[in-house]
Amino acid sequence: MALVYVNIYFLFPRFVLNKKYASYILYFIIALCVFYVIRTELIYQFINENVWPESETPQNAYSFNHILVVFLIGIYDVALVTTIKLTADWIFERKRIEQLQEEQLRTELNLLKSQIQPHFFFNTLNNLYALAINKSDDAPRVILKLSDMMQYVLYEVNSPKVTLLQEIKHIDNYIDIEKMRFNDRIESELDITGEIEDVMVPPLLFLSFVENCFKHGLKENDNIFINMSFKVIDKNYLEFKLKNNFNPNVKPNKNHGIGISNAKRRLNLLFYNDYILETKIIDNNYNLLLKIPIR
């Protein structure tokens, strides 16, 4: 027991974990020698002058065969218990790391979600400011829409998942505000396929992509066309498609990239490799495909 404890709590952490293997071997051999002397003397003094009664032929203490046998016994005991100890430590450390990763994941997701809210309200307040400058009669309606959206963002998205119907309503409110801002130069379509009543999704995930439809370098007098669709596939996946026009001759504002990068980071954290995100441009139309699990 003494040899095992010396190895586990002194030699192994001090030398092996610090990659001082030669020093470990040296001190372990010294420990085996001390172990051999103490064991042999205790047996000789208190038990039997024949320190190796198991041998078929009489053996003397401190002979090569006896030293070899005792060393092998010590090495076996140390190896067995050290293996058990290392396995237990590995299991404990793995659980600790998994807990830390889960906690880090929750913290980062909450941080990303908190970044969405000021980013979103900043854009919406800009819309309201534009209407106020033009003294538009739609300003009161925008305030009511904004109030509904603030209630949703501040109070109803604290849980990891919300219903897809809530998200669609939230997106509709946002598009309505944009329509007031762009004087109804926005045409939007929404298609829903499958039963979505019980579908749960991460909150504010799709809005970032919808917001991006208004940042694709459109000129001041350009019309905006948006086509969205949600489709439930085999009750296991939700497919979201988004298509909108854009002007390739106008560069988008690089200062407004928070939403998309945020959404991509959230997708990686939430679903790892179990999602599909594809974007492509066809005939001056921006096409996006997002497929996420809803199991």
CA distance 148 to 223: 27
Question: Tell me, what amino acid is at 170?
Answer: H
CA distance 55 to 9: 34
Q: What is the pLDDT of residue 265?
A: 82
CA distance 40 to 95: 43
Q: What is the pLDDT of residue 221?
A: 64
Residues of the chain with CATH 3.30.565.10: 105-293
Q: Hey, which CATH number is domain 105-293, 3.40.50.2300, 3.30.565.10, 3.20.20.70, 3.90.226.10?
A: 3.30.565.10
Q: How far apart are the first and last CA of the chain?
A: 52
CA dihedral sign of residues 178, 238, 261, 244? negative
Q: What is the pLDDT of residue 207?
A: 84
Q: What is the pLDDT of residue 75?
A: 92
Q: What is the pLDDT of residue 243?
A: 92
Specify which residues 288 forms β-bridges with: 242, 279
Q: What is the pLDDT of residue 116?
A: 57
- Judge whether 137 and 183 are in contact, CB under 8 Å: no
Specify which residues 186 forms β-bridges with: 224
Integer CA distances (angstroms), 220 to 44, 110, 213, 217, in order: 101, 36, 14, 9
* Tens-binned pLDDT, residue by residue, of the chain (295 aa): 889 999 899 898 888 888 898 999 999 999 999 988 888 888 877 777 777 767 666 667 788 888 888 888 889 999 999 999 999 988 998 888 887 777 776 676 666 666 555 666 776 677 678 777 877 777 788 788 878 877 877 777 677 788 999 999 989 988 888 787 777 788 889 999 998 888 999 888 898 888 878 765 455 667 888 999 999 998 899 999 999 887 766 665 554 455 677 788 888 888 888 899 999 988 888 899 999 998 7
Q: What is the pLDDT of residue 26?
A: 93
Q: What is the pLDDT of residue 291?
A: 95
Instruction: Give the DSSP letter of residue 199.
Output: -
b/e string for 81-90 if b means 16 or more Cβ within 10 A? bbeeeeeeee
Q: What is the pLDDT of residue 111?
A: 66
Q: What is the pLDDT of residue 275?
A: 92
CA distance 259 to 124: 14
Confidence (pTM): 0.60
E-assigned strand segments in the chain:
162-163, 186-193, 200-201, 224-233, 237-245, 276-282, 285-293
- Judge whether 291 and 275 are in contact, CB under 8 Å: yes
Q: What is the pLDDT of residue 140?
A: 81
| Cβ neighbours of residue 221 closer than 8 Å, sequence gap 6 or more | 185
